[in-house]
Amino acid sequence: MSILEKKTEFKVVNEGITVDQIVQSSPQEIAVSLVEAGAIILPSHGTQDAFFGGTLDTLDFLNENKVPTEIYSTDEDYKELALHGADIWLGTILVKYIFIPVFCGVISSYIYDKLKAQKDDNISLKFIVENKDGKTTTVSFDGKVESLPAAIDEVRKISNED
């Protein structure tokens, strides 16, 4: 590996946070729409930061493809962080249990068909996935697109757990 090559980072971590806790900590004016959403796009670093450029395109694509999605922000507070480079940054998306199977197919389609990601492209994303008991697992991926299916398969496994 050369000094310029990026090492793939892939982590799966059980979290203590629940979807209900995220909704309860949200601004009052968006709480109802977050409860009804199947996926929630979170700010790039927690709940007090900007969103990555292209977030509104991701939102539109998910909504158009039967994954009801909301952004964890009011219109007044929404701001994007413009990152200039060839890498793809999708940010953090919370996925509710019932929407996991549809979400996995739609997000794959978005990455490969809409963004036209190539196997050598770098991509960074984090999925916070709710299991059937309401607890969450974080699946983080930062590496080459060709290795991304392992992360999406890990998300898919959460919906198959008994």
**Domain parsing of the chain, residue ranges:** 9-160
Judge residue 79's burial from the number of C-beta atoms within 10 Å of its C-beta, 0-12 exposed, 13-18 middle, 19 or more buried.
exposed
Q: Return the pLDDT at 160.
A: 84
Question: DSSP states of 115-141 as a string?
Answer: S---TTSEEEEEEEEE-TTSEEEEEEE
Q: Return the pLDDT at 138.
A: 95
Maximal CA-CA distance, the chain: 49
How many CB atoms within 10 Å of residue 103? Answer: 26
Instruction: Assess contact for 48 and 17: CB atoms under 8 A.
Output: no
Q: Return the pLDDT at 3.
A: 47
Question: Mean pLDDT in runs of 10 for the chain (162 residues)?
Answer: 68 89 91 96 74 92 97 90 74 94 96 92 94 92 95 93 64
Q: Return the pLDDT at 41.
A: 94
